[in-house]
Structure 1
Amino acid sequence: MSQRHSVSASLPKEPARRPSFVGRLRRFRRNESGSTAIEFALVAMPFLVLLAFLIEIGLVFFAGEVLDNAVAESARLIRTGQAQKASLDADGFKQEVMGHLPGFFSADRLSIDVKTYTSFSTWAETPLIDEDDKLIEDFSYQTGSASQIVVMRAFYRWPMAGSYFGVDFSDLADGTRLIASIAAFRNEPFPTASGGS
């Protein structure tokens, strides 16, 4: 039997050559192991800011719907004469409105305006925000008597976090967004205390 010898073992090895600049550049272009992380880093921050902004806008619309529902439910107390019969003052009525709002609403941020009018055409919208971007708090509480026209307005100063991201959606100087809800109605012909039952 003859023995076989490996030819490669007997050849002398060449010293390792350093790749040229062009060779390193080609190898760099072909290497894509970190490209996903870099692309995510470039896109993540704008995406997260946009996502936070959309969530904040959604919360504002949600809060507006919740406030509308609370105004509709609370206005019924005035319209049917229950607020007048219970002698609810402005603070008591505000607590009634707060009872229809979720727990994350703060009574300190809620303002209620209830006024009576002789006809629906005499009501005129007044400015709510002054030139310093502050809420004009010229509010009153007049529940009216039977068959009288009443306009109830509720205002909530919703805190906005978008200004921290450079997207300011607030309309008041304190960085809040004013959410408003209104109910205009004619009181039912409920019996008054002086008129008997």
Structure 2
Amino acid sequence: MRSSATPAFSCLRLLRRFRRSKRGSAALEFAIVAPVFFALLFAILETGIMFLADQLLESITQESARMIQTGQAQTASYSEAQFASYVCSEIPALFNCSNIAIDVENYPSFSSIALANPIDGSGNFDASSFKYNTGGPCDIVVVRLFYPWQLFVTGLGWNPSNMTGDKRLLSATAAFRNEPYGGGACPAS
């Protein structure tokens, strides 16, 4: 006849053996650390890609603004759609051309430039006030490009979104005086 103390004794012995065993501890530690590690890794990758996209948008803006600054867009009578098509031809695969918003305005002086924030109080992008006015020779022009960038890893207490729907509005601006492409010289300012 077996005593009832034997199963209790073998369970205690099994628990002591489990506690002393070091096999599998690395896997257990990795299982605890892995979610935080991968979340941080993906957040770093997403931030890097977002900064890359922002720099590409800046380059596209500078290239597109040069078309206006040198008078090529004006002498070729580019419409807003034609200028948008030119901008789209400069865009790499990282962007969707249909999501880029373009604002081109001219001003009488650099001190009169007033740029409104295109994000309304609710966090929505509002491009309704955008214009396409390239100005003439020697006019001061501001070209702005905007792109709502979708974010995916917004946890860990750091969320770079500035719009609803976990989006970040990327923007790039070029302010310049048009060259005197019609001949002559620009007046001293």
Which TM class, normalised by the smaller chain length?
A: 0.7 to 0.9
Counterpart position of 2:109: 119
Aligned to 2:137: 146
Aligned to 1:173: 164
Output the amino acid matched with 1:173.
T
Structure 2 residue corresponding to 1:43, chosen from 33, 40, 51: 33
Query: Does 1:97 find its partner at 2:53?
Result: no
Count the aligned residue pairs. Answer: 177
| Offset of residue 141 of structure 1 | 0.3
2:123 maps to which of 111, 127, 133 = 133
Gaps of 5+ in 2: 1-5, 184-189
1:68 — aligned with what?
58
Q: Which runs of 4+ in 1 moved over 6 A?
A: none
Shift of residue 120, structure 1, vs aligned partner: 0.2
Partner SS, residue 95 of structure 2: coil
Bigger Cα displacement from structure 2, 21-30 vs 31-40: 21-30
1:162 counterpart SS class: coil
Q: Is the 8 A contact 2:151 2:161 kept in 1?
A: yes
Gaps spanning 5+ residues in structure 1: where? 1-15, 193-197
Amino acid at match of 1:169: P
Return the letter of the residue paired with 1:36.
A
Distance 1:164 1:18 in 2: 47
**Structure 1, residues 88-119: CA drift from partner, whole Å, max 9, x if none?**
11121112122222123112210000000000
Bigger mean CA deviation after superposition, 94-103 or 114-123:
94-103
User: Using the alignment, how far apart are the partners of 1:134 and 1:118 within structure 2?
Assistant: 30
Give the Cα–Cα distance (whole angstroms) in 1 for the partners of residues 115 and 68 of structure 2.
Answer: 21
Larger Rg: 1
Q: Is the 8 A contact 1:71 1:183 kept in 2?
A: yes
Give 1:30's aligned amino acid.
R
The answer for the alignment partner of 1:157 in structure 2 is: 148
Q: CA deviation at 1:151?
A: 0.5
Q: Which moved more, 1:135-144 or 1:18-27?
A: 18-27
Q: How does 1:5-44 map to 2 (within 5 A)?
A: 23-44=13-34
- Return the letter of the residue paired with 1:128: P
Q: Which moved more, 1:168-177 or 1:113-122?
A: 168-177
State the TM-score, normalizing by the size of structure 1.
0.82
Seq. identity, %: 40
TM-score normalised by L of structure 2: 0.85
Query: Structure 1, residues 115-140: CA drift from partner, whole Å, max 9, x if none?
Result: 00000000013122111111121100
